[in-house]
A and B are shown apart, each in its own frame.
Chain A
Amino acid sequence: MTQTQTELCYLTIRDAGRLLQSRKLSPVELTRAFLHRIEQLDMNLQSYITVLSDRALSEARHAEAEILRGDYRGPLHGIPIALKDLYDTEGIRTTASSRVMANRIPIEDATTTARLAAAGSILLGKLAMHEFALGGPDPTCGFPLARNPWNLDHIPGGSSSGSGAAVSAGLCMGSLGSCTGGSIRGPASYCSIVGLKPTYGRVSRYGVVPLSWTLDHCGPMTWTVEDAAIMLQAIAGYDPKDPTSSRAPVPDYAASLVDDMKGMTIGVPRHFFFADDPSINPETLAVVETALKTLQELGAHVVEVKIPSLRYAGASQPVIMLSEAFAYHARNLRSKPEEFGDMVRARFRTGALFTSGEYVQAQRVRNVIKREFANVLQRVDLIASPTMSNPPPEFKSVDVMTTARVPSFTGPYNLTGMPAISVPCGFTANGLPIGLQLAGKPFDEPTVLRAAYTFQQRVHLFEKRPPV
């Protein structure tokens, strides 16, 4: 890679967009730089399942022609992105990283895929993920396992593993992840990028391979908060094809990017996220404590809040998720179980063993959790915590029970449907990334983005790229 090509791949969407709009940069030149970088680096990172070189260059030439004749579509026009391989792409294999769907070619785009294309983005390819957005980094799934660009021996998180790795390593400018219990924010935290899970109903799930209908969310994964706002703007809004899609108006997210959070009140449920629990990593807590002090220095009031029902979130979320997942996969699990990887097959099978009463109870407990959060959100603007309870583990230490053994700090917001973002806030002594999670009121993505943007402008971690 020449210095110039690397610099192009490390541009933010916002900065590249300005250069493209002013015709100082060609979409073709930019796309070529990314394709070259993927060719050079992805043999180690394994973040892509499918690279669409010819198609991407064709789209880039089309974008270039449009921009040259004055038909500029907006800040994503000519921007190279990539999608987690569960977003349907018309005519392009979409596998969900599973042999079960190894040869599946969708006949239409997901709504989000289509909206990003309409915004003029260039699709570089489809990204690695944990099998069916659940399985973990499972070598038996038959697909590549993306690696963490900050340390290849460590996992990049999941299930949007390729999205986290590719954005972090400069192999695409932005991506879409999907999130049922933390699959956007987790890899964002582990790869030192930004991951936004919007409010349930804010972004269409149509054409995205489901894991759990009542918990699934779609959202952007980017290098900066500003870029996440740009991508969210393109994909948010009502979709008649998704029965849970909201008709709430879509605000101008760029307008929320004000470098000022004076007067905001941020609640911290210390009893849960900072509990005296040996399964929570002390170094993570120390780094996030420093981040909370930074939020105070920026003018926010940081107060302790209590959400007693949080202790039930770790029981409620997997019962709902695995029950719904089993319902979707039951036919294949019974007829061709050998096509699933070992991890996901075991976890989906567990979903078959919950009783209907247990599923209903989990949903009722979910209601209590939602109500307690709603009550607290009448007094605070945001809730802050570490994104993950531990830094990214090594591949060799991961097994089918890894995610169950440590507390999930992201799952509660899949239960409540609240918007939540992970923004990089520091590193361990070993150089592994740590993320700060900020969650807000339903449909109040602007406040979430504003706080994360202000924080990111202060800590400037976006200047530090992984050693790839």
Chain B
Amino acid sequence: MAESEGISVEQFGTLAERAGLTMKTEELTALKPMFDYYAKQIKLLFEIELEAEDMAVMYSPNWDPQG
């Protein structure tokens, strides 16, 4: 998404179709501002230097803050 900021509604429609979403043009037009907003936010996530930071999809229920 982040690399796709500023794309046209037509290109946005292709992306949505790729994700399995069938939308009318007016729906695509209405959704695109939200898409553009999150695209800007996501750029932030790639600004931070994470090196080999782990992914940690699951939170450990027994996480020790001292550990």
Chain A contacts to B: CB under 8 angstroms: 200-201, 214, 244-248, 309, 311-312, 314-316, 318-319, 330, 333-334, 346-347, 349-350, 352-355, 358, 360-368, 370, 373-374, 377-378, 400-401, 404, 417, 441-442
Contact = CB atoms under 8 A, between A and B. Distances in A.
Contacts of A346: 30-31, 34
Contact of B38 (A330, A354, A363): A354
Nearest to B60: A201
Contacts of B56: 363-364, 366-367, 370
B45 A319 contact: yes
Contact of A364 (B2, B19, B55, B63): B55
A315 B40 CA distance: 9
Nearest to A248: B62
Contacts of A334: 20-22
Contacts of A352: 16, 19-21
Contact of A349 (B16, B44, B48, B66): B16
B45 A312 contact: yes
Contact of B59 (A318, A354, A360, A417): A417
Given A244-B58, A363-B57, A374 B19 contact: no
12 contacts: A201-B59, A312-B45, A315-B41, A319-B42, A330-B20, A349-B16, A358-B2, A360-B55, A363-B57, A364-B56, A367-B56, A442-B65
A334 B20 CA distance: 7
B63 A442 contact: yes
Interface residues of B, number: 36
A245 B46 contact: no
B1 to A, nearest CB: 5
A373 B59 CA distance: 14
B50 A368 contact: yes
A398 to B, nearest CB: 15
A364 B31 CA distance: 27
B61 A248 contact: yes
B7 to A, nearest CB: 11
B65 A441 contact: yes
Contacts of B45: 312, 315-316, 319, 358, 361-362, 365
Interface in B20-53: 20-23, 30-31, 33-35, 37-38, 41-42, 44-46, 48, 50, 53
B62 A314 contact: no
Contacts of B66: 374, 378
Nearest to A319: B42
B21 A333 contact: yes
A245 B64 CA distance: 15
A410 B63 CA distance: 20
Contact of B34 (A247, A314, A347, A358): A347
A371 to B, nearest CB: 9
The 3 closest A-B pairs by CB, nearest first: A201-B61, A246-B61, A352-B19
Contacts of A374: 65-66
Nearest to A362: B45
A95 B25 CA distance: 30
Contact of B15 (A201, A309, A353, A441): A353
B46 to A, nearest CB: 6
Nearest to A202: B61
Contacts of B19: 352-353
